[in-house]
Amino acid sequence: MTDAHMNRKTKILRIIARLNIGGPAIHVALLTQGLDPDRFQSVLVTGKVSAQEGDMSYLADTYGIKPIVISDLQREINFKKDLKTFIKVFAIIRREKPDIVHSHTAKAGFVARIAVCAYNFFFNKKVKVVHTFHGHVFKGYFSRIKTFLFLWVERLLARSTDVVIAISDSQKKELADKYRIISPDKIKIINLGFDLNPFLFSKALHGKFRRFLGIDNKTLLIGIVGRLVPIKNHMMFLKAAKIFINQNPGIRVKFVVVGDGEMRGELEAYCSKEGLSEHVLFCGWVRDVASVYADIDILALTSLNEGTPVSIIEAMASSVPVIATDVGGIKDLLGFYISNDYTANGFQLCERGILCENKDPQHFAKGLSYLLNNGLDKDESRIMRALEYVKQNYSQERLIRDIKALYIDLAGLK
């Protein structure tokens, strides 16, 4: 290898469908900005956030990133727009001549990998391809027929993918064994990474969110943070809230929904119908989300499917107890079982939190009661284990270090 080649920067073309509120947007912003600029040159390509989603495009300005925006690159399936997106991505690859194309999220992964395959074929190039599964759409999103088609598309795309990144052990098992997307030897587990400091020191913001809500310190706050979309199953959260309130009439409690999306109207209507409106607060998106964790007493998550949910990592870093449904990579976050039987309590006591069965509001409410009676002020060890776990495994420094090593290996620069 010549000195000129050794000194040339490795060019990364990173593509994501949209910078909507959530882990993937934070992830790509950190990687685009955080890789060593003396060794890597990063170009970010993104689509537009839909009107119903929270927008995190401000991250690009925060990190001094000027992304290439393709307006036709959107979450929804649209053959005409998707074809235009393919043509534009292909043109960007021709112009930028990257060494590695790294895609994030399903739509971007589909378009980018086909474009790289075409570029390598027509121009006799060897651009490497990496795709990160931040979650997957194989459960809870589409009909059985659509899901079957998506599975086969992913299996075909996997053939031209050099490395697939799974963000948890559970996700790797699903991709390799359950859904047979790709052989395990082509999957590398790299946990997400974040700037944890706002959450590690969130207690300095104590009282800010409660003042915003007009709620005193004696009221129990149970929060859920995320997009109001079907896959997040906020309806289960509300049903569990009703059960909890009925079973604990003497407790002053508010259930706080942080986020927005297409389900908001339906969820608010349910609260009105079931007499929950005075107990449930819909806050929309809160920019300073660390202030939310500074004041809530419990974080809940009721998703039907997840990769590695950011809200749990943020809560653990903020020393907030977590209760969640046992789906996707959540078990990897909350750790091994301390109690080994759902039937005894209707939930699992884990090393770093509490797991409940999916679609089971009755037992979810029971888990909330357990936390209230036994966990909030009596089990500091579980909270401390969670805090140390995220500090060790989900920092931005560790993420950048792992991705750097992967890129160096792929580019043959060891």
The tokens describing 209, both together, are: 């969110």
Output the DSSP codes for 166-212. ESSHHHHHIIIIIS--S-GGGEEE----B--HHHHTGGGGTTHHHHH
Question: At a CB cut-off of 8 Å and minimum separation 6, what does 164 contact?
Answer: 130, 131, 132, 133, 158, 175, 181, 182, 186, 187, 188
56 with 107, same domain: the answer is yes
Pairing between β-strand 187-189 and β-strand 163-166 as defined by DSSP bridges:
parallel
Cβ contacts of 354-357, under 8 Å, gap ≥ 24: 354/321, 354/322, 354/323, 354/324, 355/323, 355/324, 355/325, 355/326, 355/330, 355/331, 356/323, 356/324, 356/325, 356/326, 357/325, 357/326
Residues 133 and 203 in one domain: no
Residue 46 and residue 124 in one domain: yes
pLDDT score recorded for residue 136: 67
What would the two tokens of residue 251 be?
């407790």
| Domain membership of residue 255 as a residue range | 197-393
pLDDT tens-digit readout, 9-28:
999 999 999 998 888 899 99
Q: Are residues 349 and 404 in the same domain?
A: no
Q: How many domains does the chain have?
A: 2
Residues 47 and 183 in one domain: yes
Q: Are residues 127 and 64 in the same domain?
A: yes
Same domain, yes or no: 254 and 365: yes
Give yes or no: residues 240 and 164 share one domain: no
Task: Give which of 352, 354, 356, 345 is closest to 381, Cα–Cα.
Answer: 352
Q: Are 324 and 312 in contact (CB under 8 A)?
A: yes
d(CA 323, CA 312): 9
In 3D, which of 303, 343, 299, 300 has the Cα closest to residue 326? 303
- Please state whether beta strands 40-46 and 280-284 pair in parallel, antiparallel, or not at all (unpaired): unpaired
Q: Are 233 and 270 in contact (CB under 8 A)?
A: no
The average confidence (pLDDT) of the chain is 91
Closest CA to 115 of 71, 161, 72: 161
Which CATH number is 30's domain given? 3.40.50.2000
Measure Cα distances from 116 to 73, 76, 121, 126 in Å: 16, 22, 8, 9
Record the pTM: 0.88
| Model pLDDT, residue 75 | 73
pLDDT at 137: 62
Q: Which residues contact 246 (CB under 8 A, 6 or more apart)?
A: none
**According to the model, what pLDDT value does residue 232 have?**
95
pLDDT per residue as tens digits for the range 277-315: 999 999 999 989 999 999 999 999 999 988 889 999 999
* Domain shared by 43 and 172, yes or no: yes
Q: What is the pLDDT of residues 77-102, one digit of tens each?
A: 788 999 999 999 999 999 999 999 99
Domain match, 294 and 249 both: yes
Query: Is 213 found in the same domain as 183?
Result: no
Q: DSSP states of 66-115 as a string?
A: -PEE-TT--SS--HHHHHHHHHHHHHHHHHH--SEEEEESHHHHHHHHHH
Q: Which residue has the tokens 């955080």?
A: 34
Residues 377 and 230 in one domain: yes
121: its two tokens: 């074929």
Q: Is the CB of residue 121 less than 8 Å from the CB of residue 94? A: no
Q: What is the pLDDT of residue 3?
A: 47
Reduce the DSSP state of residue 134 to 3 states and report it: coil
pLDDT at 328: 85
The pLDDT averaged over each successive group of 10 residues in the chain (414 residues) is 62 94 89 95 92 80 93 84 96 98 93 97 97 76 76 91 93 90 95 95 96 96 95 97 95 96 96 97 94 98 92 97 93 82 75 93 95 72 94 96 96 71
**123-162: string of b/e by CB count within 10 Å (b at 16+)?**
eeeebbbbbbbbbbbbbbbeeeeeeeebbeebeebbeebb
Q: Which residue has the tokens 């939310």?
A: 292
